Amino acid sequence: MKKFLLISPKNRTVYNFRGDLIREIQKRDYDVWVTGPNTVGIAEVEALGVHFVEIPMNKNGINPLADIRYAWKLWKLMRKVRPDVTLGYTIKPVIYGAIAARIAGVNNICSMVTGAGYLFSAKTLKAKCLRIIGGMLYKMGFACARCVIFQNPDDLNEFTSAHLVNSKKCHVVNGSGVNMGHFTLAPLPGQLTFFMLSRALFSKGVREYLHAARLVKQQHPEVRFMYLGAVEHMPDALTEEEVQSYVDDGTIEHFGETSDVRRYTAQCSVFVLPSYREGTPRTVLEAMAMGRAIITTDTPGCRETVREGINGFLVPVKDVKSLADRMSWFISHPTAVESMGKASHEYCAEKFDVRKVNEMMLEICQIGK
């Protein structure tokens, strides 16, 4: 039996975002192995019928010794398992996973860029320095890969224009896809409700959402605003006090992390993600599948999810006023919530259904029946 190794940065992404892909690979008689940085959620990962191996990794750390140790442990595992195909996603699995696989003698090395992330969206001096280092490491990792998969054309163009990867080995898929049998149409709530789902990071546009919500709430106290997301201790994160201030003044309702976002998405009328940059935002796809109108930013990844004026609106990055104006538009045009939500569902089925995305993934990764 052939073997497939998935190199993951976070266990939750394995069963939330890659579960359907793993099942398709297993149908093709592959024995699937998965690495993760810890044992959080290991039961859900192993429920997929995979072999799980913990290989510690700090996805946000910049300790070179820790990264070398991570690559070395990946190499040891590959020498033991002898995978026929590897797939790493996000920066460290893409870089160190591909390098380890090349040294271990793996022939079919696949890498997936799920978003350019903080390195490309942040403008601080620290981010610029990390971008130079990250670019060199990306170049090394991509050189080891047989194929590199991007989730939107903007990211592909940026990486190839920067000469980080040879365009001949690059492919684009429509995000991670969404299981439309799991995320199904849900009735709209009686109260007009806006909802954002994301970690409390500046780069996700959480601060803009909170500011815009406060502006709109002052004029329309009857409108509900929901925010679901963990507050993390990272350079790019809001503090607990900042988020709590919007709860205390009645602007938003804040919910912590959940294993099933559907019951929260079902409570909203319009889904909002003012992110600075994405691969293709899975949270938006899930909301589209459930029949929700979308407000997101005119930026790589996000713009792929909206047909302007048909299933939602695009607003400029970091533009609180434009975001508040679009929210207010839905208050003035309540009938559009249903029609745009229907258009979202149809567009999602056309372009982002996980079955279509996974067929493309399997073809690119050369995993045949």
Q: For the chain (length 369 residues), average pLDDT per consecutive 10?
A: 96 93 97 96 96 90 88 98 97 97 98 78 66 87 98 93 95 95 97 96 95 98 96 84 96 90 97 95 97 97 96 98 98 97 98 97 92
CATH superfamily of 2-177+354-364: Glycogen Phosphorylase B; (3.40.50.2000)
pLDDT in tens, 317-348: 999 999 999 999 999 999 999 999 999 999 99
- Record: fold of 193-351: Rossmann fold (3.40.50)
Residues of the chain with CATH 3.40.50.2000: 2-177+354-364, 193-351
Q: What is the 3-state secondary structure (H, E, C) of the chain?
A: CEEEEEECCCHHHHHHHCHHHHHHHHHCCEEEEEEECCCCCHHHHHCCCCEEEECCCCCCCCCHHHHHHHHHHHHHHHHHHCCCEEEEECHHHHHHHHHHHHHHCCCEEEEEECCCHHHHHCCCHHHHHHHHHHHHHHHHHHHHCCEEEECCHHHHHHHHHCCCCCHHHEEECCCCCECCCCCCCCCCCCCCEEEEECCCEHHHCHHHHHHHHHHHHHHCCCCEEEEECCCCCCCCECCHHHHHHHHHCCCCEEECCCCCCHHHHCCCCEEEECCCCCCCCHHHHHHHHCCCEEEEECCCCHHHHCCECCCEEEECCCCHHHHHHHHHHHHHCCHHHHHHHHHHHHHHHHHCEHHHHHHHHHHHCCCCC
Residue 266 pLDDT = 98
Residue 120 pLDDT = 62
pLDDT in tens, 271-299: 999 999 998 999 999 999 999 999 999 99
